[in-house]
Each structure stands twice: as C-alpha cells, then as structure tokens.
Amino acid sequence: MTVKRILILAPLLVLVFLLQSYLWVPTYEQQTRGNPDRLNEFIAASIGDASLLNPILTADTASSQIEGMVFEGLIDRDENLYFRGRLASSWDVYEEAYFYVNDAASIPGRGKMPGEEIVDLLIRAKHENDLPDPGLKDALRNIMEVSAIPPREFEVFRSEKIPGELKEKRRIKINIKAPARIKLRLTSVDQDLFRHLTKILGANYFASFRGEQYISTEPDVSGVRLAEYAGELVPATENNPVLVFHLRPNVRFHDGHVFDANDVKFTFDAIMNPKNLSPRIADYEPVKTVEVIDPLTVRIVYKRLYSPAIGTWGMGILPEHILNHEALKKEAGRLGKDPDKFGMRQSTFNRHPVGCGPFVFQDWKSDQYITLKWFDGYWEGPPNYKRYMFRIIPDLLTQEMEFYAGTIDSYGVQPHQVNRLKTDPRFQCFSGASFGYTYIGYNMRRAPFDNPEVRKALGMAIDVDKIIDYVLYSQGEKITGPFVKQTDYYNHGIKPVPYDPAGALRLLAKAGWKPNKEGWLQKDGKKLQFTLITNSGNDLRKAILAIAQDAWRQIGIDVRTDLLEWSVFLQERVDKADFDALILGWSMGIEPDLYQIWHSSQTRPHQLNFVGFKNKEADELIIKIRQEYDREKQVKYCHILHEIIAREQPYTFLYVSKWTAVLDKRIVIRETDDKGNVVYKKITPTKTGNYNFYFNKWIKLRDAPDFSADG
C-alpha cells in the first residue's frame, strides 16, 4: 500500500473505529453474566429529561412518566376504561342543589309562597303518582331531601381595579341580605332539575329572580359590576355536585408516613395556590370546597356542574407533611433562602420526590438518568421489577442500537422501521393510533399571526400528505382539530386545509403581504419574517421543521429555524410564550375537556394555551362541554367547537401518528394463582392500546416462554 493510499484510508479507519466505539454496548447476555440483578431491572429510554418531579407543577411527557410510578392518584381507569379505585377504595356521587325563594314571583294556582310552603309543595308533588310529565316525575323521584334555609346576612370582600387606573386596585366590601333558600339533596346529578321544577313553580320563577336587590357595596360599583357580584354571591339557582371518596386504610408514603385525607386536601390547596403556578388549576377551579370528614373520608363539593370531575382525581397525591407551609419554611432556613420568597417550586422535593406509588425515587443525574426502586410497602404489593431506570438518550439511532443489545428494554419504533421490526421474531410488537396529534402553533399575540387569514395561508402552503408519506412512511393520518380522532367528539365532517400554495398567496395578498423585487413577501416595507422552533432529539419534528421552512420560503416567507434542548425549549420559550411559531404535539385523554389548552383564561405564563387563542364563542362552548352530562349534547357542542378552532387555525393541525413499540419476547406478565403457583402470561394492550397497563406485573426471563398453545 502506498503512503498516499494510507493517508487517504487513515481518516476512514479512524471514523469506523469511532462509530464502532460509539455504538458498541454490552449485550444482554454480557450484562446478566456480570450482573444477575439485570433480570430484575427495567431500563427505559427518553429523548428528553424530566423538568420537575411534582405532578401538580408539570405537564411534559418525561416528567409524567416518572411521576406516574412515584405518585398515586385516588382513582384511574381499568383495562376496559371504567374508573377503578387506587388510593380511594370507593366513592359516592350525589348532588346538593339550591334556589332562592323569589318573593316577587307567583306560583301558578297558589300565588306567592314562603320557603316552608314551597318545601311542602315539593314534598307533596314528589309523592304524587299521576304526574303527567315523566321528566318532572323522574326529577322529583331523584330528590332525597328538601329543606328551607332561613334568610341570612353576611359580608365578603373583593379586590378590583380602580376605573381609569392600570395597576391600582381598591377593596370592595359587599353586604348581602339573602332571602330564604331551598336546599335539595339528590341521589344523582341532575343538570335539568330546575327546568323540570319550573313546571311546578312557574316558567319564570328562576329567571325573574334579581339578586342585585339583596346586595350593596362600599364604595358603590356600576350596575353591571353589581349584577356580576349578585350572580356570584346570590345566584337564583345553584347545582353543587358532590364527590365523597373513601380512602384505603394503612397506605403509606415512601418515607413511612401514613397517607390520609389531609394529603388530598393539601394537594388540592397546593394546585389552587397561585404562588405555585400549577398548570392544573383549570381542572380544579370548579371545586367549591374540599372537606376532611375523617382521616379516611374526603368530601369534595363543586361550584357548578362539571362532568369531568371524577377523572381529575387521578392526579398524584402529594405528602402534606413534607410540603406544607411550616416544612417549606424550615427548608428555606436550611438552604439559607428567604422564607417569604421560597415556595413549592423552589423545594428540593421536586428533584427528590416522595409519593406512595409502586416505585421509590433513588437518584437523578440531569440529562443522563433517573433511577427508581420498588416500594416493598406498596398497598397493592410490590412490582416484580426491583429497579427502574429512565435513561436520557437524545439520539434515536443510539436508542435503537442499545435496544438491540438489550441495554434498554423497550423501543419506540420510528416510522421507517415499522414494516421490518413488527415481523422480527425476537420481539413482541404493539401498535395503534395515538391519542393526540402533532401541530404547528402560532403565537397569536404577535403579528402577523394575529390574522386568521395569514394562519390559514401558512397551513395551505404545507403539503401534509408529503409529511405523512415521506416522514412518517404512511404511519399517520391527517387531523383537522383538537379532539381525539378515535372518539365521537371529533368532527369528521370538517375537511383538512387544502395544500394550495397559490391560494395561500392570494390570502396573504388580501392581508396586505405582496412580493417585493426579490420575491419576498412584504407589507408596509417590512418583510414577512419569523422563526419556527422545536425541540432537539426528535427527528420527526426536525424533518417537519425543514419541510415547513422550505414550503414557506417557496411562497416568499423568510423563515428561520431553531432546535432547542428540551428543557430550554419548554421552560424558556413555551412556558414564557417567547416564540413566533413552534412544532409540538399533544397527548390527549378520553374526556373532551379542552379548558386548559383552549380557554382564553389559560394564556398566562406556565399555562397551556401558550399560543394565546381567545374566542368568546369557543369559551362558552368549552364551559358547556364541561358542564354537560348528556353525551349527545356534549358531542354536538364538541363538533361546533371543533369547527370554530378549525376555522380560526391557531394551529396548523398536521397529523395523528400511528405508534409502534417493541419489547423483547422475554418480558412477560408474572402472576401467582390461587394455589401459589407462578403463572406467566403474554403482555396484551388495553382498549386504548396501552400495553404498559400491567407494568407492575412485568418481569424479564432468561428464556422466552412458549405461548403458542395460547394462540
């Protein structure tokens, strides 16, 4: 070999050696020979690190994955999607409803009636057998108790802005002289109760009630403001759904402290504490009170109808004894911090969490790994795996190589690998349509994204079919709005935004954006220019970034792009709404409650409506959906909301992806039968495709069992 050839080949040999070194990892057999406990350890991989490990403070996927193992909620859903008890063993749902006696209204055939007479009237009607209206009959049958509450006087204080001032506020004293009130206790929630009762009390009995006559303020406020206070403090009618949770006895946190109802109340109070900036506030704002009845009973009363109520109590419960005011004050002292400025967000708890879930936190090395160990005191019995490791591996190629070698135990297959890996005999494969979607979101606080025609034009310039075919390898489908596509709430009648660059240019021209001599679109001498960002470590989003940039540049938009490390992307740009446009995705739940993501009240820092979408009609529908217990009506409202959001285009809705995951065939479910014999079963997904549902029963064997006899 000549010197020249050696010089040419030397860099190539070095490159090959480096690649081999970079991708080399010990095989699973090598690991188990050197570490027999590897069979009792599950290792997962993630492209991004967790942000905080506190379920009331986070909303990102990585944090939630760990929190779901460390913390436990009162309930969750079983494999058939029915609610099941976790920290709560059971629960009761009923309603307390109220209405004020309307002294100005006449009851048909009876005239004006005081509270006690109205109670007698309703009790007599409840026992009548020949009522002609079946709806009224059912409503009365649902009433367990009727009682009258005498008139009362009380006062409250509010703080409001001084008219004409930007920041100054004044304290308002509100004096209330409330009339008598009727209380109804119902066996179940009845959203149509008061509509049915008008058939006894009169069509306008509730509508003609004027709460303003019962309140006064110091200083005086406008008539509009007075009516708002009356609606809040002296409402004509009030629906108060009630949840009573009965908690499991002898459940302990990882530090040995006994879990009880005070921890549930503390978790709620922590979410609602504005100092904590919890992104979960919207889920719990409808709660009126959380009462500790006894250590194992908690009673939750809602201000109004709220159909997703039960599901919100899947939230991980925090340990009150570690995070209460006194504990945080002491921690601030130990750390040399100002106690008045030290809160839950500053606590070291967020990196050393204590819950009562199946795994105990051990260690967290940023951007490298998080380790957990089994909790042998877990109320349902300890998991089979004794150790869980969550490794941060931003490079998907490295994840793939490590999965083949067995140094990670699961792998989220990339679209181009699906056809090959789903038939690989070494693995068990799971797949399904995602409960969520990927989108490009626009910061509507900034021009030109404050114009819906511009947002629509930006969507029309992108060939989504190209993304699905060439980036997803056909492992996805178009989506047009914010609901889970597999549910009835999704409006299948809405057509996707068409790929039409020429049409996009016409819309932009209508908005004043026209090409200059160089071909760039400009308006009032200013070029149409912005930056599109997303997180690094996600090859799919990186590809979409390039496709969107190229598509927009082809019609004359000067688009720049930026890839940011996940924590920076989330905390510095998304949480602070410091971006022009971004590529992200939502993982959705089954419930159609979109309050956190789309209601106009949720646009502040650390909240989830970070694009700043505000639409009065959409707000009203979001509230209706939350309060509607009739499924058909709820679906109808969802379809209208879907239509509004699709029309406004705060996002360019791209696609819902099809996911595929693979596991080594040696990972199985291990159970013990009634006779004490160990039984191995295949891992099977739930109706939603969740193959991790029985994770606490998983274990990895040295050799894969033969399930062929099971089909």
Measuring CA to CA, which residue among 188, 200, 181, 187 is closest to residue 98?
A: 181
342's enclosing H/E stretch is none
Residue 61: its pLDDT value, please? 86
For the stretch 630-665, pLDDT in tens is 889 999 999 999 999 999 999 999 999 988 899 999
Collapse the DSSP code of 479 into the 3-class scheme (helix H, G, I; strand E, B; otherwise coil) and give the result.
coil
Percentage with pLDDT > 90 across the chain = 77
Q: What is the mean pLDDT of residues 448-459?
A: 98
Whole-angstrom distance, CA of residue 620 vs CA of residue 617: 5
pLDDT of 22 over the 50 cut: no
For 311, the token pair is: 């599901």
Residue 32: its pLDDT value, please? 53
Q: In this structure, are residues 23 and 17 in contact, taking their beta carbons and an 8 Å threshold?
A: no
242's enclosing H/E stretch is strand 237-247
Residue 8: its pLDDT value, please? 39
Whole-angstrom distance, CA of residue 422 vs CA of residue 430: 8
Q: Which residue has the higher pLDDT, 59 or 698?
A: 698
- Beta bridge partners of residue 21, listed in sequence order: none
132's enclosing H/E stretch is none
For the stretch 491-516, pLDDT in tens is 999 999 999 999 999 999 999 999 99
pLDDT of 690 over the 90 cut: no
Measured over the CA atoms of residue 491, residue 495, residue 499 and residue 501, the dihedral's sign is negative
- Strand ranges, E, within 427-512: 427-433, 436-442, 476-478
Q: What is the mean pLDDT of residues 529-535?
A: 97
Residue 696: its pLDDT value, please? 96
Query: Which residue's entry shows tokens 């997180």?
Result: 535
Instruction: Calculate the alpha carbon distances from 347 to 64, 276, 439, 536, 690 in Å.
Output: 18, 11, 34, 28, 33
pLDDT band at 28 (very low <50, low <70, confident <90, very high): low
pLDDT of 606 over the 60 cut: yes
Work out the burial of residue 686: count CB atoms within 10 Å of its CB; fewer than 13 is exposed, 13-18 middle, 19 or more buried: middle
Whole-angstrom distance, CA of residue 640 vs CA of residue 541: 30
Whole-angstrom distance, CA of residue 372 vs CA of residue 388: 5
pLDDT of 272 over the 90 cut: yes
For 163, the token pair is: 């008219």
- Spell out the domains of the chain, with CATH numbers in brackets: 29-71+352-433+660-710 (3.40.190.10), 93-242 (no CATH), 436-659 (3.10.105.10)
Residue 35: its pLDDT value, please? 62
Mean pLDDT in the chain? 91
For 34, the token pair is: 């050197």
Measured over the CA atoms of residue 496, residue 502, residue 507 and residue 508, the dihedral's sign is positive
Q: Which amino acid is at 437?
A: Y
- Beta bridge partners of residue 77, listed in sequence order: 83
- Beta bridge partners of residue 586, listed in sequence order: 437
pLDDT of 17 over the 70 cut: no
Q: What is the mean pLDDT of residues 134-162?
A: 93
Give the Cα-Cα-Cα angle 422, 541, 580 (nearest 5 degrees).
160
Length of the chain, in residues: 711
pTM summary value: 0.78
Buried b / exposed e over 580-593, threshold 16 CB at 10 Å, is: bbbbbbbebeebbb
Residue 659: its pLDDT value, please? 85
For 401, the token pair is: 């190589």
Q: Which residue has the higher pLDDT, 163 or 5?
A: 163
Measured over the CA atoms of residue 419, residue 421, residue 426 and residue 429, the dihedral's sign is negative
Whole-angstrom distance, CA of residue 438 vs CA of residue 540: 10
Q: What is the mean pLDDT of residues 144-166?
A: 89
Residue 343: its pLDDT value, please? 94
Give the Cα-Cα-Cα angle 417, 420, 422 (nearest 5 degrees).
95
Whole-angstrom distance, CA of residue 419 vs CA of residue 328: 53
Q: In this structure, are residues 417 and 641 in contact, taking their beta carbons and an 8 Å threshold?
A: no
For the stretch 123-142, pLDDT in tens is 999 998 888 889 999 999 99
pLDDT band at 538 (very low <50, low <70, confident <90, very high): confident
Whole-angstrom distance, CA of residue 346 vs CA of residue 328: 9
Q: Which residue has the higher pLDDT, 420 or 563?
A: 563
Work out the burial of residue 498: count CB atoms within 10 Å of its CB; fewer than 13 is exposed, 13-18 middle, 19 or more buried: exposed
pLDDT band at 164 (very low <50, low <70, confident <90, very high): low
For 537, the token pair is: 């470590």
Q: Which residue has the higher pLDDT, 19 or 182?
A: 182
How many CB atoms sit inside 10 A of residue 537's CB?
A: 20
121's enclosing H/E stretch is helix 115-126
Measuring CA to CA, which residue among 65, 180, 110, 122 is closest to residue 692?
A: 65
Q: What is the mean pLDDT of residues 595-614?
A: 94
pLDDT of 186 over the 50 cut: yes
For the stretch 278-311, pLDDT in tens is 989 989 999 999 999 999 999 999 999 999 999 9
